């Protein structure tokens, strides 16, 4: 989808559908008002959030359709609501003769955060997980362009980069596990680096063995696909002295069978999205590379395939992690935490002072929070407050979970320094506590995105499949960082 900005007057905007934001209980004023008045008067449109109404061939307008876009009460309006309304509107008209859409921003919706959100909404609504469908009709259903009138070009550009970066992550997450192996994921990272000027390094199995990443390699050993440890670095042109160094650690299990502790076959196909944490970090790094924050950011993406087989690790195996602690692997399906701890140790060695990990880590977080909120855990409340601010601005919901030291009791074993599972009770918390034990100096946030990285059913504003959750919140965490 091409994103364009228009200087033309509303009447002259050429499009198949012109979206005009409209509020609840507020007689329309400003550009577009005259065309909306009838819709309000007839009672067919009230301006409530996600209300739509349509007029064909509005007189005096070049646009073929006028779409009244309900945004609710003006005082309650958030950029994230505009994002969802635009996304839902475009999805409604997809495949129905709308190839070129436009939006008329004015008054409050012309402010930069709203302009960015409108563009993000258009891009996110456009995404379909149909990359592998060969239907020749597909191309005709695509919305080819989205024109924004009345906003600053910089805000439109920021929205374009954020929206495209989230879709970039979604496209990778959506790839099937036969195609998206750890090697293929590393190739995506290399290509991204070449396009955007990031620095990219891939550690192979030998290098990881040399370093002593025994926890990660234990998971990888059951697969014929070699593991890859992806490192992407963004360095600002003139970093501030004593700048924080943000590390983004993403779980990238390209397929999680559970290993010897094998999962039931029902629904196992969904475990291709067990690399959504790594995918989110690739998307965030794309946006960071293009929007250039003032702080250095390094992404670390440990990638493996978790398979059973003659070489697979067994329940009862004891592995040595990169930081020297030994782990008793009681369940080979609790593999995400094993690859994350070696990545976190490595991130601290590279000098990261602030770490966020994102991982489809536990089914238990879905039991606790459903599919609405991402579970957040931290060892540093100030750091989490920053992420809460950027997530709230992006409309991405997170919910803080507890991490009292007593939860560590469940991870004690007489046979090693720690065991990799803690029983059914508080499964997401003991998983987070396991990771916590390997963070030595950094401020750290763990995001359990198992419930939010994938949509089982389409929403008005988003297709079924990968959501790309936290791409925008993590990119803006870096972009908007104030000392």
List the catalytic residues. Answer: 263, 337
Torsion angle of C-alpha atoms 119, 125, 127, 133, degrees rounded to 10? -150
Comparing C-alpha atoms, which of 409, 414, 413, 440 is closest to residue 425? 409
Judged by beta carbon distances under 5 to 8 A according to partner kind, the member of Zn ion, ligand BES, Mn ion, none in contact with residue 461 is none
Smallest distance from the beta carbon of 356 to ligand BES, in angstroms? 18
Bridge partners of 397, per DSSP, are: none
Tokens 């506590």 correspond to 433
- Give residues 234-263 in contact with Mn ion (rule: CB under 5 A): 256
Q: What 3-state class would DSSP assign to 111?
A: coil
Comparing C-alpha atoms, which of 340, 354, 333 is closest to residue 243? 354
d(CA 253, CA 276): 8
Q: Considering CB under 6 A, how many residues would be counted as binding ligand BES? A: 15
Buried b / exposed e over 294-316, threshold 16 CB at 10 Å, is ebbbbbbbbbbbbbbeeebbeee
Buried b / exposed e over 121-130, threshold 16 CB at 10 Å, is bbbbbbbbbe
Q: Whole-angstrom distance between the N-terminal and C-terminal Cα of the chain? A: 36
Q: Which is nearer to ligand BES, 333 or 348 (CB)?
A: 333
Smallest distance from the beta carbon of 462 to ligand BES, in angstroms? 18
By the rule CB under 5 A, 336 interacts with Zn ion: yes
Q: Which member of 335, 342, 357, 396 binds ligand BES (CB under 6 A)?
A: 335
| Number of DSSP helices (H) and strands (E) in the chain, helices first | 13, 20
- Give residues 428-467 in contact with ligand BES (rule: CB under 6 A): 450
Q: Which member of 126, 164, 175, 256 binds ligand BES (CB under 6 A)?
A: 256
Q: Which stretch binds ligand BES (CB under 6 A): 192-200, 238-246, 359-367, 411-419?
A: 359-367
Q: Which member of 51, 120, 128, 256 binds Zn ion (CB under 5 A)?
A: 256
Judged by beta carbon distances under 5 to 8 A according to partner kind, the member of Zn ion, Mn ion, ligand BES, none in contact with residue 228 is none
Smallest distance from the beta carbon of 322 to Zn ion, in angstroms? 20
Q: Which residue is nearest to ligand BES (CB)?
A: 363
Tokens 């290098």 correspond to 207
Q: Which is nearer to ligand BES, 125 or 182 (CB)?
A: 182
- Give residues 366-425 in contact with ligand BES (rule: CB under 6 A): 421
The Cβ of residue 94 has, within 10 Å, a number of other Cβ atoms equal to 18
Judged by beta carbon distances under 5 to 8 A according to partner kind, the member of Mn ion, Zn ion, ligand BES, none in contact with residue 427 is ligand BES
By the rule CB under 6 A, 364 interacts with ligand BES: yes
By the rule CB under 6 A, 336 interacts with ligand BES: yes
Judged by beta carbon distances under 5 to 8 A according to partner kind, the member of Mn ion, ligand BES, Zn ion, none in contact with residue 357 is none
Comparing C-alpha atoms, which of 69, 61, 75 is closest to residue 103? 69
Q: Is the dihedral of CA 314, 308, 359, 298 positive or negative?
A: positive
Q: Which is nearer to ligand BES, 126 or 335 (CB)?
A: 335
By the rule CB under 6 A, 334 interacts with ligand BES: yes
Judged by beta carbon distances under 5 to 8 A according to partner kind, the member of Mn ion, Zn ion, ligand BES, none in contact with residue 421 is ligand BES
Smallest distance from the beta carbon of 36 to ligand BES, in angstroms? 44
Q: Which is nearer to ligand BES, 3 or 220 (CB)?
A: 220
Strands (E) in 307-422, as ranges, are: 317-320, 326-329, 354-359, 374-378, 398-400, 418-419
Q: Which residues contact 9 (CB under 8 A, 6 or more apart)?
A: none
Residues of this chain that interact with ligand BES (CB under 6 A) are: 256, 274, 331, 333-336, 360-364, 421, 427, 450
């Amino acid at each position: 989808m091409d994103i364009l900005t228009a200087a033309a007057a509303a009447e002259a905007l050429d499009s198949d559908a012109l979206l005009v934001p409209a509020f609840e209980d507020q007689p329309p004023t400003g550009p577009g008002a005259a065309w909306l008045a009838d819709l309000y008067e007839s009672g067919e449109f009230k301006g409530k959030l996600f209300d739509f109404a349509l007029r064909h061939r509005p007189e005096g307008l070049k646009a073929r359709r006028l779409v009244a876009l309900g945004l609710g009460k003006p005082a309650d309006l958030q950029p994230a609501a505009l994002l969802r309304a635009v996304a839902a509107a475009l999805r409604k008209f997809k495949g129905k003769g709308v190839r070129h859409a436009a939006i008329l921003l004015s008054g409050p919706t012309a402010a930069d955060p709203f302009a960015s959100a409108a563009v993000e909404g258009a891009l996110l609504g456009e995404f379909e997980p149909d990359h592998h469908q060969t239907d020749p009709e597909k191309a005709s259903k695509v919305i080819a362009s989205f024109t924004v009138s009345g906003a600053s070009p910089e805000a439109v550009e920021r929205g374009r980069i954020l929206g495209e970066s989230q879709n970039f992550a979604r496209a990778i997450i959506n790839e099937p596990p036969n195609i998206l192996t750890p090697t293929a994921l590393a190739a995506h990272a290399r290509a991204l680096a070449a396009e955007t000027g990031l620095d990219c390094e891939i550690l192979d199995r030998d290098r990881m063995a040399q370093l002593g990443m025994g926890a990660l390699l234990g998971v990888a050993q059951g697969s014929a696909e070699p593991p890859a440890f992806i490192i992407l670095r963004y360095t600002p042109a003139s970093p501030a002295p004593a700048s924080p160094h943000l590390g983004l650690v993403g779980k990238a299990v390209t397929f999680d069978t559970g290993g010897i502790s094998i999962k039931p076959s029902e629904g196992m196909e969904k475990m291709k999205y067990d690399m959504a944490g790594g995918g989110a970090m690739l998307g965030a790094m794309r946006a960071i590379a293009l929007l250039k924050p003032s702080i250095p950011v390094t992404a670390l993406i440990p990638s493996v395939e978790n398979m059973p087989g003659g070489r697979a690790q067994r329940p009862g195996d004891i592995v040595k992690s990169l930081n020297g602690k030994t782990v008793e692997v009681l369940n080979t399906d609790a593999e995400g935490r094993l690859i994350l701890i070696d990545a976190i140790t490595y991130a601290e060695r590279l000098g990261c002072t602030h770490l966020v990990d994102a991982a489809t880590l536990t089914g238990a977080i879905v039991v606790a929070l459903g599919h609405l909120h991402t579970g957040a855990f931290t060892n540093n409340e100030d750091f989490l407050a920053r992420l809460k601010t950027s997530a709230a601005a992006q409309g991405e919901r997170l919910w803080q979970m507890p991490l009292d030291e007593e939860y560590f009791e469940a991870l004690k074993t007489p046979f090693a320094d720690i065991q990799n599972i803690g029983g059914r009770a508080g499964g997401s918390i003991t998983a987070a506590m396991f990771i916590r034990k390997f963070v030595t100096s950094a401020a750290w946030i763990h995001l359990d995105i198992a419930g939010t990285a994938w949509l089982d059913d389409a929403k008005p504003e988003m297709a079924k499949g990968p959501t790309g959750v936290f791409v925008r919140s993590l990119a803006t965490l870096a972009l908007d960082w104030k000392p």
